[in-house]
Every structure is written in C-alpha cells, then in structure tokens.
Structure 1
C-alpha cells in the first residue's frame, strides 16, 4: 500500500513532468491572473506557481483554479502550516517552499497538499530524503552552485529529482534540463513584471511557447 507521503510525491512528480518549466509568478493585480494563466496554458505551460509574496496571491490562485481550463495552479513561498491551509482552501494543487523547517514538514505531513520542498545543500537534500521526499526544489539554483552542483549530486543521491529555481533564464535552462536528476526548472522569465502590468498576454504566450520547446532536452 502506498504511504501518504509517497502518494503526494507521485502527485508532485506528475506536476514536474507536465512541462519543462514551471513559471514562478508574482501577481500584484488579481485582474491579471486569468489572462496570464490562459496565455501560459495556450503556450503549453500548464503548471503555474503563484508565490505568496503579494496580497493578491490567494485570490489569484482561487480564480485560476476555478476558471482556467488546463491550468494546474500551485502556491509558492510556503513557509508554514497557515500557508498550506490557505493555499489548499484557495484551490492550489501543489505547494512549493524556498527551504525547510521541522514545523513546515510536520505541517505538510498533516496536509493533503503535495509539497515540493526547497534544498540548497546535500545535507538538506539528505534530510528530506529521510522524510520520504524524492522530488525537491533546488533553490537558489544559480547562487547555490548551478547545474554543476546538481550534476555532482547525481551519483551519490541517485534517488532524488529536482526542479532548480533561482537565477535561471531561457538561455541557461538547457544546462539544467540536460541533467539526469532534473525534471523541470522554475523561472520567473515567463511572466515578467513589465508584460504583466502592460497586459501583454500575447507576449507571455510567446515566452511560454519558447520555454515549452525545451521539452526535447528532457
């Protein structure tokens, strides 16, 4: 019988395999949420991480979950139990954290929401593996050592698969996606602030289509 943590890890893996890039989105105006999400889905990028960095985030998640067909909306910048509860109530399908703490992991054990936890060191990755996590966010990817560090982890930590996030661009994503222990990358370049504020949904769809072309590297 599959354990609860393993079941949630399977759900996280399914999200990570939807597309080569998970957009990391900062929403300031909830009115932008629906057209932004529809543009990403139209461009072939269905998994969307809306970060809890603005007051509009939960309303944006709620709107996308209810109204955008094909979108798999998740919540980012999760720091504790209250974030997990609020995100699940809003309709989020997965949660992402920048790092880990014992209290966060305990809360995740009690939550139905699948968690993609962040790790920046081998020790953190090993601690998460002990708790049953095989799919991790590598953050901040570029400052922490980039694709060379992840490549070095592949042999001693073969059980783990990563979504590196932090400082990655369309140009550098290929270096990460070529690694055997990387399933996708996270990036904010698909939804830049200038295009969100200008309502340039065609421009966001084009960025999504360019990112989706990276799937041939996986």
Structure 2
C-alpha cells in the first residue's frame, strides 16, 4: 500500500468493541467530530465483521497475518509487546509498530510525547460502547486525547 501511514491519520486510535453494527457510523462520526480519524474495531463480536476494515492490527506478527494484509493491500501496523518482538516485523519489512496489549495511555507515561506519533487506547469510548448513542460521551474524551499531541 502506498500513501500516508495509518498512524499519521490520527494521533489516537481507540479500540472499540461494537455490539451493534448499526452504531458503527454514528460512533465514527462522533469520534471524527472529536478529531479522531481512525478506529480499531476489536474482532470480539460479529458486529465488527459487518463494519468493514481499511487496515489490520494484530497482537502478534505472524506470516498468516502479514499474508492477509498483503493480499487485501491494506496496511498492517505490526503489534509488538517488547523490543525483541519487533524483530519478526522488521524481518518481513514492516516498519510501523503498535504497542500491545492496547490499553489506557497516560501522557505522564511518555518520556517525550513529541516522539510518539500515534497512541491506542480503550478509554475513549464509554464502557457500554455506543449503546446510548450519546455523541457527547465520545466527542469530549476524543478531543481530550487529541489534545495530547
């Protein structure tokens, strides 16, 4: 794939669990209004499969995952948990890495936030997902997360 990196599109990539595919578009619009242009849908429910994908993320960089991304011509920021975990990704010419397990990242944890182009996290969307369809509950934390950049 050519063009801008997925990691350059948004300073934060929230991990979202969808229980209802019908909430995907309103949720995405609320996140976009808050300044977030990329969402990672966790494949924990059937609804996530119905929402579509423009890139893949995996907690491990395996040949089948790399092959799936290349067959679909979609980006794959390789999931790594340690520095040594980055070696398999670099070995198959993947140079964009994402930290796993994903979780909440406090800006205090960053030695120099300017060195981090993009972070992932769970706490941008409410714990109950987007069941109430209250865009303010998504837009406000999204704006706060984007302000970290």
**If the TM-score is normalised by the length of the shorter chain, which range does it land in?**
0.7 to 0.9
- SS of the residue corresponding to residue 133 of structure 1 reads coil
Residue among 67, 80, 92 paired with 1:119: 80
Larger relative CO (CA 8 A, sep 6+): 1 or 2? 2
1:207 is aligned to 2:141: yes
1:186 is aligned to 2:147: no
In the aligned structure 2, how far is the partner of 1:192 from the partner of 1:24? 11
In the aligned structure 2, how far is the partner of 1:180 from the partner of 1:52? 31
Give ranges in structure 2 of 5+ residues lacking alignment: none
Residue among 48, 51, 58 paired with 1:60: 51
In the aligned structure 1, how far is the partner of 2:84 from the partner of 2:65? 17
* Residues 107, 113 of structure 2: 8 Å contact kept: no
In the aligned structure 1, how far is the partner of 2:5 from the partner of 2:65? 22
How many residues align structurally?
Answer: 149
- SS of the residue corresponding to residue 118 of structure 1 reads strand
From the superposition, tell whether residues 194 and 111 of structure 1 become closer, same or farther in structure 2 (CA, over 3 Å): closer
Aligned to 1:109: 70
TM-score, length of structure 2 as denominator length: 0.86
- SS of the residue corresponding to residue 200 of structure 1 reads coil
Encode CA deviations 1:87-113: one digit per residue, 9 max, x unaligned: xxxxx2211111122222233333311
Structure having the higher helix fraction is 1
Aligned to 1:14: 5
Aligned to 1:198: 132
1:96 is aligned to 2:57: yes
Aligned to 1:81: none
* Residues 27, 33 of structure 1: 8 Å contact kept: yes
Residue among 104, 116, 139 paired with 1:168: 104
RMSD: 2.1
* Residues 176, 185 of structure 1: 8 Å contact kept: no
Aligned to 2:16: 25
TM-score, length of structure 1 as denominator length: 0.61
Residue among 27, 32, 44 paired with 2:35: 44
